[in-house]
């Protein structure tokens, strides 16, 4: 315990968030302001609107996070911020806010990768045990990440087309559900049955990569055919059938990866980690406890600054600081 206090900022997409994290594990505050209502009528995130909201919100959200944590800027060990990937205009708001605070109060600046943040959300739940595997499933990412130690990320498999969350949102849209559609499909799937055998994209036998665009097209075609034949569609069953296909592939590939790499833990990360069907399927698959399954609470699955603070703590301990030329980088590599 070093009394390490990190102010973290996240503005990569449509959530403006600030958090104060103690020793990389304890959340003193985690304020999240969602813009979902503003983007809903466009059926997705509009980058220009996102940037404007971040500008309006950022100062208020940071002040609220500091107040709730009862911390002064002078007490901070560092200020951390998501530097990428994400929407460039959105990232810049957070990066500039963090730089200003670092400069004004003469404290270290730490740039954090958004996906490292999603993975390290798990450190706010439980101590991490290496080597570990992380299944990252969000609106922009679908990756299996092997970590031999803190701060080391090896992507062993990733999507070749759509991210899981993207597939959920696109299918939801064709079903006439509001944005973001993931949670709606999840809810409907729980009330339906798998009546349609949608394809599973296993790819090459030894591949840990994923593909969801074929499945997405198959769902869209099925809906189209039902409509043409004038048949009734049971939306719950379509949701359940789609979700069953997604989950089976995710769980089987993840299981094989944990076995081949001999990991101690499996971490679930990203917005789609909120999916009840996926959480339950992983719980069952890893019920023996041989590999410890860690799943963050819902509030730490979708975008938030607490996870950025947890990831920044690892860099803080290694003195991995950023300079004032830190920039928003929409295509940043993990």
Question: Exactly one of 94, 108, 180, 328 binds ligand KG4 (CB under 6 A); which one?
Answer: 180
| CB-CB neighbours of 325 under 10 Å | 6
**How far is it, in rounded angstroms, from Cα 251 to Cα 278?**
8
Which of Zn ion, ligand KG4, none does residue 272 bind (CB under 5 to 8 Å by kind)?
Answer: ligand KG4
Which of ligand KG4, Zn ion, none does residue 111 bind (CB under 5 to 8 Å by kind)?
Answer: none
Assigned token pair, 101:
């605070």
| Residue (13 or 101) nearer to ligand KG4, CB | 13
**How far is it, in rounded angstroms, from Cα 30 to Cα 19?**
4
274 binds ligand KG4 (CB under 6 A): yes
Cβ atoms of residues 237 and 245 within 8 Å = no
Q: Name the minimum Å distance from CB 114 to Zn ion.
A: 6
| Residue (108 or 296) nearer to ligand KG4, CB | 296
Largest CA distance in the chain: 68
CA distances 80 to 40, 101, 260, 275, 313, Å, are 29, 10, 35, 28, 9
**How far is it, in rounded angstroms, from Cα 174 to Cα 181?**
10
83 binds ligand KG4 (CB under 6 A): no
Q: Name the minimum Å distance from CB 271 to Zn ion.
A: 6
Burial 203-240 (b: 16+ CB within 10 A, else e): eeeeebbbbbebbbebbeebbeeeeeeeeeebbbbbbb
Side by side, which strands form the sheet with 15-22?
Answer: 26-34, 15-22, 5-10, 78-84, 109-113
User: Annotated binding residue at 275?
Assistant: yes
User: Annotated binding residue at 138?
Assistant: yes
186 binds ligand KG4 (CB under 6 A): yes
Pairing assessment for the beta strands 15-22 and 5-10 based on DSSP bridges: antiparallel
- Using only the alpha carbons of the chain, give its radius of gyration: 20
| Residue (190 or 223) nearer to ligand KG4, CB | 190
142 binds Zn ion (CB under 5 A): no
State the binding string over 295-314 for ligand KG4 (x if CB under 6 A, else -): -------xx-----------
User: Annotated binding residue at 182?
Assistant: yes
State the binding string over 112-141 for ligand KG4 (x if CB under 6 A, else -): --------------------------xxx-
Q: Name the minimum Å distance from CB 135 to Zn ion.
A: 14
State the binding string over 154-173 for ligand KG4 (x if CB under 6 A, else -): -----------x--xx----
| Residue (162 or 209) nearer to ligand KG4, CB | 162
Cβ atoms of residues 138 and 118 within 8 Å = yes
Which of ligand KG4, Zn ion, none does residue 171 bind (CB under 5 to 8 Å by kind)?
Answer: none
User: Annotated binding residue at 184?
Assistant: no
Question: Per CB under 5 A, which region of 138-146, 194-202, 240-248, 285-293 contacts Zn ion?
Answer: 138-146
Question: Exactly one of 138, 218, 254, 275 binds Zn ion (CB under 5 A); which one?
Answer: 138
**How far is it, in rounded angstroms, from Cα 40 to Cα 55?**
19
Q: Contact positions toward Zn ion, by CB under 5 A? A: 138, 303
Residue ranges that bind ligand KG4, judged by CB under 6 A: 13, 138-140, 165, 168-169, 180-183, 186, 270-272, 274-275, 302-303
């Amino acid at each position: 315990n070093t009394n390490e206090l990190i102010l973290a900022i996240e503005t990569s997409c449509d959530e403006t968030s600030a958090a104060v994290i103690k020793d990389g594990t304890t959340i003193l505050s985690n304020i999240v302001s969602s813009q979902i209502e503003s983007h809903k009528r466009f059926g997705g995130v509009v980058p220009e609107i996102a940037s404007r909201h971040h500008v309006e919100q950022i100062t208020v959200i940071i002040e609220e996070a500091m107040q709730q944590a009862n911390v002064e800027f002078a007490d901070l060990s560092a200020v951390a911020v998501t530097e990428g990937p994400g929407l460039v205009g959105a990232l810049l708001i957070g990066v500039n806010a963090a730089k200003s605070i670092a400069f004004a109060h003469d404290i270290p600046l730490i740039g954090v990768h958004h996906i490292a943040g999603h993975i390290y959300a798990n450190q706010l739940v439980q101590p991490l045990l290496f080597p570990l595997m992380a299944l990252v499933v969000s609106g922009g990412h679908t990756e299996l990440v092997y970590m031999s130690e803190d701060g080391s990320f090896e992507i062993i498999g990733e999507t070749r087309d759509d991210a899981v969350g993207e597939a959920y949102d696109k299918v939801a849209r064709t079903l006439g559900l509001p944005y973001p559609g993931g949670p709606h499909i999840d809810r409907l799937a729980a009330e339906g049955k798998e009546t349609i055998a949608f394809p599973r994209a296993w790819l090459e036998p030894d591949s840990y990569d994923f593909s969801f665009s074929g499945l997405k097209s198959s769902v869209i075609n099925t809906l189209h055919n039902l409509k043409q034949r004038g048949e009734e569609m049971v939306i719950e069953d379509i949701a359940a059938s789609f979700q069953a296909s997604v989950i089976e592939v995710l769980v089987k590939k993840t299981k094989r990866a944990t076995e081949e790499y001999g990991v101690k833990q499996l971490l679930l990360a990203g917005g789609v980690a909120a999916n009840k069907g996926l959480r339950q399927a992983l719980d069952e698959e890893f019920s023996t406890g041989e590999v410890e399954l860690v799943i963050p609470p819902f509030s730490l699955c979708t975008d938030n600054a607490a996870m950025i603070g947890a990831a920044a703590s690892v860099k803080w301990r290694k003195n991995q600081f950023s300079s004032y030329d830190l920039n928003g980088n929409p295509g940043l590599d993990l």
